[in-house]
Amino acid sequence: MKRKAIRGSMRAVVVASAAVLTVGVVGAGVNAEPAAVPTEQQLADVIDEGLSEPSATPIVDSGSGSGSACDSGSGAGSGNGSGDCYGGSGSSSGLRGGHATDTVGFGPPATAFLAAFGHGLLNPDVAPPGSNDWTCKPTAEHPEPVVLLHGTWENAYDNFAYVSQPIHDAGHCVFTFNYGKSGLIQGGGLGPVLPGRNGTGYMEDSAKQIDVFVDRVLQATGAEKVNIVAHSQGGTVARQYLRFEGGADKVDQLMTFGATHHGTTLIGIGALGRAINNLGIDVLGLVEIFVGHAGIQQTVGSNFINNLNAGGDTEPGVEYTVVGSRYDEITTPYDSTFLQAGPGATVRNITLQDGCEQDLSDHLTLMYSPRALSIILNTLDPSQPLVCTSNPWLIGGGGSL
């Protein structure tokens, strides 16, 4: 009876949510009663409740990767900036694959995401300025190197062209790479059709690639631990690395911005797709062909998200700084990014607009926000002040390209 009731509730929410989406697209003039419409959070709660039933497990979801994270012939352990890392085999929509690559050359500083994105399309493999000096040695004042992890459909340059140089200039060794490179035939979706669109492969494989890269950084610098700054999927896959790849022993601080830590409803669309899938209609399998493995893994209620959070949000000994924006249109609800501290861990959850309402950063411009940069620098060195300036939605860079 309970299973039938849950399924009945889910069907009701699906119908109601479909109506909401329809009204939102074509019915601006229709008089509807808002109070009768389920919220995104209510939809997510129903999905979570349904997933507690064995029969409600999503039909389409990705497994974990087996096989090595790095080709033994790539020289990836040398710390010299060369190497090519790979995942396992087998997939629900395309061949299992994916790898990581190092950057080649450097791009210019950028203050706006749109400008960095354009440069990244033409130069998909360049590093952001101030990063990947493999001769850099940490100081006693700043003993941990900083590793930057990009998000889905992004690359090391267009994600960090604004923050990388200032972190370096503050006295930190900074390193980054491109992970989760998975083409259309490997199930990475349509994003990789454009140059420099990474972070599309299975996140379990990407976590293994991060493990290899962090070990290289530690070997090259002689440091005992690193600090990680991550955007979007980068924060979520970093937690996979901490929990399942031994990363908790190698990371001092994890800073995430707009991370999909508890999955995203994607303004209701992702949650609706998950709910339909749980009813037995394989809609996400079709969507996965277009958005890639990592995109589906980040929807609310996925096996990946459930498995990642089953043992709590944090790892002992790691300090977490988690930043969300009220204007985030990708990680929704935006406060689903926040974490709850478990034993031996500390968590600082920050809403970007608290104390700085003029910062309108959305998902992509979070890493182009002067306030976000100041949060990074303050976390690394508490003597650094927080700043507050305007940062326009979508454009970023103070409204200038």
Q: Residue 191: its pLDDT value, please?
A: 77
- 84-261+310-399: CATH class: alpha beta
Given pLDDT bands bounded at 50, 70 and 90, which one contains residue 401? low
- Supply the mean pLDDT for the chain: 78
What is the per-residue burial (b if ≥16 Cβ within 10 Å, else e) of 148-182?
Answer: bbbbbbbbbbbbbbbbbbbbbebebbbbbbbbbbb
Residue 201 and residue 88 in contact, taking contact as beta carbons nearer than 8 Å: no
Question: Measuring CA to CA, how many Å separate 338 from each of 229, 316, 357, 381?
Answer: 15, 17, 19, 22
Q: What would the pLDDT profile of 326-350 be if each residue is shown by its tens digit?
A: 999 999 999 999 999 999 999 999 9
pLDDT of 80 higher than 80: no
**pLDDT higher for 55 or 164?**
164
In three-state secondary structure terms, 38 is coil
Task: State mean pLDDT over 197-219.
Answer: 96
Once rounded to an integer, what is the mean pLDDT over residues 62-67? 34
pLDDT tens for each residue of 353-380: 999 999 999 999 999 999 999 999 999 9
> Which tops the pLDDT comparison, 41 or 14?
41
Predicted confidence (pLDDT) at residue 15 exceeds the cutoff of 60 = no
Q: What is the pTM of this model?
A: 0.76
Instruction: Provide mean pLDDT across the span 218-245.
Output: 98
- Mapped onto helix, strand or coil, the DSSP state of residue 320 is strand
The pLDDT value recorded for residue 287 is 58
Q: Is pLDDT above 50 for 71? A: no
Return the pLDDT at 275.
54
Model confidence at 83: pLDDT above 50: no
Interhelix angle 203-221/233-244, nearest 10 degrees: 80
**Extents of the domains making up the chain:** 2-61+266-291, 84-261+310-399
pLDDT band of 24, cuts 50, 70, 90: very low
pLDDT band per the 50, 70, 90 thresholds, residue 398: low
Closest C-alpha among 284, 312, 308 to residue 296: 284
The predicted pLDDT at position 107 comes to 97
State pLDDT tens for residues 268-309: 444 444 554 555 655 455 555 677 889 989 999 999 999 999
